[in-house]
Amino acid sequence: MVLLFPFALYTITSALIYSNGTQLLLSWLSTSTSTPPFANEVQHETNSLEYNSRFILIIPGLNVPSFDIFYFFFAAILASIIHELGHALAANRHRLTIDNVGFSVFLCLPAVFVSIEHNQIDRKLFKRLEITATGLMNNAMLCLITLTLFWANPLNLLYKQINGLMVINVDSASSISNGPNALKPYDVIQRLNGQMVRSIDQWTEELHHIQSHQTGFCVPTQFITSYSFSTSCHNLEQCCDKIDTKHESRLCFMVDNPTRLGQFESNSNELECNITKRLYESNLNIYDAVNPDRLYSSCVPVRRVTDIATQFCNKTSDCMTNYHGRDWCIWPLELDDRRTRLVVLEVESETKPNILFWGPPIELYQAIDLSPVRGRFNFISERIIQHWNTMLRYIFTFSFTIMIINMLPFNPMDGFHLIDLSSKIMINDQRIRHRIVRLINLFALIIMVATGIIVTIQLGQLFH
């Protein structure tokens, strides 16, 4: 077990260098149900499809479901008991007396501890090494068992994979659950803004992509010319004020410089027209792709846009040119909330149209409970396997965390005693032994301080 100590230092070092190294190692554990990719959504949006390096706080009830608090504490207590049970059983094997067994709470985390009087231990260093390392070995075995149960899940026999994600529950307070085309339980979501979603990972990744910037819609030239687009120098707040939107939902859409079509109002005073700052405050994040001063706006029926759109786009050059003419990329505009996005959910139905959502994507993540599988029998609930997998994720995460923390070479952590005992076994010269131990402690301390600084900076950016 002593050989795992370098791995602990490597894990901490990778967290220092990459800032999310541990989360990359455990990404399959965190992206499904435990940690959403929106914990850092308050930062400025980016057009990059890659995740930003970031630390994520797991807070049940805030960024993970409230019910997860039961798994949270159960996993913490179980991992702690398994760790301390290893020390206790090893001590009992060598007929040592256990002084105290207790329960404590550290930073809202429950923990169990076992106190063994080391004066009872004779001078056989290997016995002391065994007692010290058994707790870490127990946590490693718990991680291995959890991974085995997750990958070779016996409950999988009761479920079958579906072509999409089935809706288990929808929060009634969300707008996605209201209206004539509302999302209902047992609906199967197949695509999200044109992208196939067949797993929770794909769902969260695509929502994060949508959150990063507003996706546009490629529409034919005939559609553009059928509506009166005007220069954005006009009052954008009044884009849809003069149009009756009671019978047909409309939004203000923007198109990039279609003046050469000859049917649009041109800007007669371009030198005085600068809407860049106003659009910076909107949901559009397209200023890297187009010149905001060349954008034209019009109040357009949303359903007609999504029905006639040939594909999704980021800029007009993404759209195709066919025998009907050129397609144009248009974007829905929201001036008052940068997080608002138009999201198209394609469901598995021959009669039900695509579901349109206008709001922040994080609402979809929080309001919709999904499952990538369906029970083979009607009496089998999809929640069973969902709760089972969530519990396994928490147990693995806490057991792995306790193992890594206890490998740190600081008193009273197991790592400190492992280094001390190992050095006594391998090095006879006491002076050299003390120097090596101090050097390792100093190296670990530097890494911990640097990691703490990075965590502080990341948390400052998170809540800025």
Compute φ and ψ for 16, nearest 5 degrees. Answer: -70, -45
Cβ atoms within 10 Å of 263's Cβ, excluding its own: 12
pLDDT for the residue numbered 143:
92
Q: What is the CA 115 to chain-centroid distance, rounded?
A: 39
Helix or strand (DSSP H, E) at 388: helix 382-406
**Residues 194, 405: contact at Cβ < 8 Å?**
no
At residue 31 the predicted structure's pLDDT band, cuts being 50, 70 and 90, is very low
Q: What is the CA radius of gyration of the chain?
A: 29
- Mean pLDDT along residues 176-199: 88
- Mean pLDDT along residues 371-385: 81
At residue 196 the predicted structure's pLDDT band, cuts being 50, 70 and 90, is very high
pLDDT for the residue numbered 2:
43
Residue 463 pLDDT more than 70? no
Q: What is the pLDDT of residues 94-121, one digit of tens each?
A: 777 777 776 666 666 666 667 666 665 5
Structure token digits, residue 431: 């002076």
- Helix ranges, 152-234 (H): 200-212, 221-225
At residue 141 the predicted structure's pLDDT band, cuts being 50, 70 and 90, is very high
pLDDT for the residue numbered 278:
58
- Mean pLDDT along residues 313-322: 76
pLDDT for the residue numbered 55:
46
Q: Is the pTM of this model over 0.75?
A: no
**Residues 144, 107: contact at Cβ < 8 Å?**
no
Q: How far is the CA of 367 from the CAs of 211, 345, 380, 387, in angstroms? A: 16, 14, 23, 17
Percent of the chain exceeding pLDDT 90 equals 7
Of 168-177, 337-346, 431-440, the least confident: 431-440
Of 115-119, 155-159, 191-195, 438-442, the least confident: 115-119
Tally DSSP H helices, then E strands, for the chain.
13, 15
- Mean pLDDT along residues 56-80: 72
**Residues 276, 293: contact at Cβ < 8 Å?**
yes
